[in-house]
A and B are shown apart, each in its own frame.
Chain A
């Protein structure tokens, strides 16, 4: 009883804070042209976190919040410009726009389970995509990128952030790329996935609990049509096969570790 009371009080305070600070969340609900088919949500964001979650629904629901502004030089925020959130849909492709150049805007997006996500973000937040199946193209320069309970394929890059990806299933046909400069890369993959790995971290280490068939230095021999010349190079990459091998995963960090984990 005491707990429920606390929860009520907390939520009351939480809600009223929005009211007082005049930053009510913006929400848009978008109908899809063909709800039976998979869709794509595409966002070019500047500052903020973006969470995309799969749900049992047919519409795309976008909620935008200014990041809790708090106080500035001892003064409360009493009024702010409205969030300019817009979204347009065409052939199941939803393009979301929010004016996050000046102020950090966090986005919460709910999408049907079969949905692809394409996000590019620069600063001040993480990208989290969970409970969806599709193709994920995520780029977050200064924050983490996380995939949770997803199926499909991913192309992820970050500079300062970590990449954490937890796959339920992978699309065996599609290559994937995970690259970062400063961060670590932690992939959790289904035990029976057939994957060819191409990994490199300059100042980090590579760990795995898979039985990876490692081929440290692979000799590349290529022939050119017009010159007929043959090029042989020794690689700094670590090549490996999980199970019988398959689509190539290119995993690259400069300073971070690489973890390839079995999904338990």
Chain B
């Protein structure tokens, strides 16, 4: 027999609302199920006695006290929970928002920085390659311009060396050629000035010394003699002495040559 059914029978048996017949039948069933007859009767008596016990009325004070304390408890709990909850929530939200803002800022900043530095890098690279290209273009232009019939353009071509970061032997040889062969004395003068900046290079220095005797114009002669003095180029003494032998040498150039030989 199932325990639950027996318990149900027991509850019905003890209930005061049951009829005498039903009670007798349930009593028999419970005895069959293993309950003692005396025990069952005692229990029945006890239960009927319990019904007879008077339950005192609860005072209104108790009610109010109870509900107040309940309210208090509820309030306390709700307060605590709400404060804590909002705190947690807010913390969580704030943190989240902060994080979100932070990461957004980081992303934006990173993107900006990236694009910015990228731009700088790009620009630098661009500028570098552009200046290289310009330099190359100017070199090409320089060679073309040196062939021009206009002396102004040839001088302009020579002046480009100021803008070249590096010059190679080809340019310097071209200038030595200009120095010795250009028909215009001012172009040759400009060539002396340009070459004087590279006079520490051996072949340029030799070229300058050799050029002294190739010059017909006193303007270029003076420029070269000046340069020899400035460079303290003792090797040029021979050329200068030969120059003095020239009868047609300009008076001022002659004086200058003498002076230079003396100082060297």
Contact = CB atoms under 8 A, between A and B. Distances in A.
Given A155-B184, A155-B186, A231-B198, A225 B256 contact: no
Interface stretch (B2-10, B68-76, B83-91, B148-156): B148-156
Q: How large is the interface on B (under 10, 10 to 19, 20 to 34, 35 or more residues)?
A: 35 or more
In this complex, which of B184, B218, B219, B250 has the most chain A Cβ atoms within 10 angstroms of its Cβ?
Answer: B219
A114 to B, nearest CB: 15
Nearest to B172: A224
B70 to A, nearest CB: 92
Nearest to A154: B152
Interface string B179-205: 000001111011001001111110000
Interface string B222-249: 1100100010000000000000000000
The 8 A-B pairs of least Cβ separation, nearest first, read: A177-B186, A225-B166, A231-B200, A222-B197, A137-B151, A225-B168, A155-B186, A155-B151
A157 to B, nearest CB: 5
A217 to B, nearest CB: 13
A222 to B, nearest CB: 5
A255 to B, nearest CB: 6
Contacts of B155: 155, 175, 177
Interface stretch (A51-59, A64-72, A98-106, A246-254): A246-254
A140 to B, nearest CB: 11
Q: How large is the interface on A (under 10, 10 to 19, 20 to 34, 35 or more residues)?
A: 20 to 34
Contacts of A254: 222, 252, 256
22 contacts: A153-B152, A155-B151, A155-B187, A175-B155, A177-B155, A177-B189, A179-B186, A179-B189, A179-B219, A181-B218, A181-B250, A181-B253, A222-B198, A224-B200, A225-B167, A226-B168, A250-B189, A250-B190, A252-B219, A252-B223, A254-B256, A255-B252
Contacts of B186: 139, 155-157, 177, 179, 250
A8 interface: no
Interface string A117-135: 0100000000000000001
Contact of B185 (A179, A220, A226, A250): A179
Contacts of B63: none
B159 interface: yes
Nearest to B219: A179
B57 interface: no
Contact of A220 (B169, B197, B219): B197
A2 interface: no
Contacts of A84: none
Contact of A224 (B150, B166, B217, B222): B166
Contact of A252 (B187, B189, B250, B252): B189
A175 B159 contact: yes
Contacts of B200: 224, 229, 231
Given A155-B151, A159-B218, A250-B186, 15 more contacts: A157-B186, A157-B219, A159-B250, A175-B156, A175-B190, A222-B197, A222-B198, A223-B165, A224-B166, A231-B198, A231-B199, A236-B230, A252-B189, A252-B219, A255-B252
A224 B167 contact: yes
A174 B152 CA distance: 7
Contacts of A194: none
A149 B196 CA distance: 35
A73 interface: no
A135 B185 CA distance: 16
In this complex, which of B185, B187, B196, B199 has the most chain A Cβ atoms within 10 angstroms of its Cβ?
Answer: B185
A229 B4 CA distance: 112
B167 A233 contact: no
A99 to B, nearest CB: 21
A227 interface: yes
A182 interface: yes
A227 B252 contact: no
Contacts of A222: 167, 197-198
Contacts of B198: 222, 224, 231
A49 B169 CA distance: 43
A139 B166 CA distance: 33
Given A177-B190, A254-B256, A139 B184 contact: yes
A105 to B, nearest CB: 22
A118 B219 CA distance: 19
Nearest to A174: B152
A231 B185 CA distance: 26
Nearest to A158: B219
Nearest to B253: A181
B39 to A, nearest CB: 121
Contact of B150 (A137, A157, A227, A255): A137
Interface in B100-156: 150-152, 155-156
A229 B201 contact: yes
B167 to A, nearest CB: 6
A32 to B, nearest CB: 18
